[in-house]
Structure 1
Amino acid sequence: MDGLEEKVSEFFGEDGNDSNKTLEDQHDGYGFDGNDSHDDPVERNLYWETQEVLLQEILENYSLTASRLRQELSRIIELAKESDYCKCSKPSSDGCIHCLRRGVVTLLCEKGFRATLCTSRWRHTKKFPGGSHEYIEVIASTASRKKQIAFLIELEFRDQFKIAKVCDEYHKLTSQLPEYFIGKPDYLNAIVRVLCDAAKKSMKEKKIHMGPWRKRSFMQMKWSGSSERSSSPDDEFINKLPTLSFRQASESCLHVNASPAVVVT
């Protein structure tokens, strides 16, 4: 586990040096000078192999954390999908994701979970376009009930990282992502870091401009509302990863039910 922390920190060069932030601001999708458009094949292969190893280790640890809770939540999501969840005045043939989220929250609460439909909102700035994003939050407790843990549910997780024109290596990374995410914000943040950096690399190879909505700092704002929640004390390696940024973002939550928090075992 310590190896994963070291690999993530070393790979992204986050050693507290301000020059790293400046480099990201200068080259994170805004202008390619063309000097390194043709990377050395060995270095290129090493980069993509490292990205894949990082992602696989994060996903492996993610899958092992609260696996029983994730299985139960996944089962309830599938039940919601099978129901007549769309309540729009003119519903589409396959329903809408907003109605599905509300349907999942309602069903979770009926099953005794403390579930919330949340919306992160951020203002338009020179750096980013304004916007909002919905997701689901479930509050769980440790066995001792001394700590509450926020679990995020993103029903369109894999779709968040889809890009039309990408290299095969990036497509391979996204194909390994689960259809939807059910886990702690720290795991989500770690995955976002790997995929956004890979997207930047892929688009640079394709000589395609990277829009601000593809940047890591923008993607993080989508789930910013839960960035201040406490995480489980038994995952020291993931707790040391950078937390989700919540600058320029705000959150509003619809508390559908005040059910007791589920216990993580």
Structure 2
Amino acid sequence: MDRQNSDDIMRFLEGMASSDDVLFGFLDEGNHSPEDFPDNGNLNGDSDIDEESEVNKNCNSEENKAFWPEQEQLLQGTLYRTSSIETKIRQATKEALKQVKSKGLHCICRRPDNGGCRSCLRGEISRYLRDVAGYDCVISKSKWRSSQDIPAGEHEYIEIVDRSDSKKGEMRVVIELSFRAEFEIAKGGEDYKKLIGRLPEVYVGKPERLRSLIKILCIAGKKCLRDKKMYMGPWRKHKYMQAKWLGTCDRSNSLDAAVVSETSEPENWVPPAKPRVSRLNHDGLLGSLSTGMGRPTAVTVV
């Protein structure tokens, strides 16, 4: 795990002490209601979009001027129309983060760092949501192959499956701890930065809502880069961003995921020699691992 990753997590945890609004966004400010923002009528989003054609719709000066206010209104409207289960899980995620903040974050992977790592943080939050809050919570790892449009990649996030409403059936809720960072552009314009600033650092919501947000943000990203005459990398395209949270994924329990994801060793890696351990110490170690949540990890919420 690199130094930058550790520093980002430490700043994230320190920010929790100052304001929940920073982490969970304007959803917690309580200054507006969903009726303040029109329904964009597209919560399910599109299976795919052509960013170029969408941006070209705003080529004349008047449409170009209205583009950013419209995108911000669409963004806020999509985020505000949250359900009761999303709100409950968001609150539980807040409590999980507070627990991590109070206990401190320590890696349980083979490459520990004093600041902890994102994988261990996901694992700790997932364990809290499952063992303390009682949700069916797992860590999902999406993988996708390269295609003509996008390169191959993989991504990890937390996912809850809720079955409390028998009429609506099974419902998935995605938890992304560094949601805003996924869309940041280092040299983005002021309008784009303002739009991204409306995102929560931690996203907690249904995949359908996430699909709509991805569409809004990818169109805005394309517009931002085109205005600055910058190239849009394939890792910023709509298909690539969708694959992170909306594609095929493997699900695992939080402890296994936290350990395994950080142990993909290089081919020439040689494990250290195993220390000699007495039977007494060995049994004690197994007992301690089986009774609790282990060492904490850190995260963010919408």
Q: Distance between the aligned counterparts of 2:42 and 2:254, measured in 1?
A: 40
Residue in structure 1 matched with residue 5 of structure 2 by the alignment? none
Q: Percent identity?
A: 32
Residue in structure 1 matched with residue 205 of structure 2 by the alignment? 183
Which segments of 5 or more consecutive residues in structure 2 lack a partner in the other structure?
Answer: 1-34, 256-302
Residue in structure 1 matched with residue 147 of structure 2 by the alignment? 125
- In the alignment, structure 1 residue 48 sits paired with structure 2 residue 46: no
Give secondary structure in 2 for the equivalent of 1:223.
helix
Q: TM-score, normalised by structure 1?
A: 0.71
Aligned residues: 217
| Richer in strand (by share) | 1
How far off is 1:217 after superposition?
1.2
Q: Distance between the aligned counterparts of 1:42 and 1:203, measured in 2?
A: 19
Residue in structure 1 matched with residue 39 of structure 2 by the alignment? 4
How far off is 1:81 after superposition?
4.5
Give secondary structure in 2 for the equivalent of 1:5.
coil
Which segments of 5 or more consecutive residues in structure 1 lack a partner in the other structure?
Answer: 225-245, 258-265
Residue from 246, 251, 254 that aligns with 1:253: 251
Determine if contact 1:101/1:135 at 8 Å carries over to the other structure.
yes
CA change 1:167–1:211 in 2 (3 A) is same
Residue in structure 2 matched with residue 171 of structure 1 by the alignment? 193
Alignment of 1:1-265 (within 5 A): 3-6=38-41, 24=50, 27=52, 40-62=60-82, 66-82=86-102, 83-111=104-132, 112-144=134-166, 147-224=169-246, 246=247, 250-255=248-253
CA change 1:146–1:57 in 2 (3 A) is closer
Listed one character per residue, the Cα deviations across residues 152-204 of structure 1 (whole Å, up to 9, x for unaligned) are 11011010001111111110111010111111001111111101100000000
Determine if contact 1:85/1:103 at 8 Å carries over to the other structure.
no
Q: Which has the larger radius of gyration?
A: 2
How far off is 1:140 after superposition?
1.4
Residue in structure 1 matched with residue 25 of structure 2 by the alignment? none
Q: Distance between the aligned counterparts of 1:66 and 1:213, measured in 2?
A: 28
> RMSD over aligned Cα, in angstroms?
3.2
Q: Distance between the aligned counterparts of 1:5 and 1:84, measured in 2?
A: 40
Structure 1, 86-95 or 188-197: larger mean CA deviation: 86-95
Q: Distance between the aligned counterparts of 2:201 and 2:75, measured in 1?
A: 15
Q: TM-score, normalised by structure 2?
A: 0.63
Listed one character per residue, the Cα deviations across residues 49-96 of structure 1 (whole Å, up to 9, x for unaligned) are 110110111111137663233212221133234433422334334211
Letter of the 1:251 counterpart: C
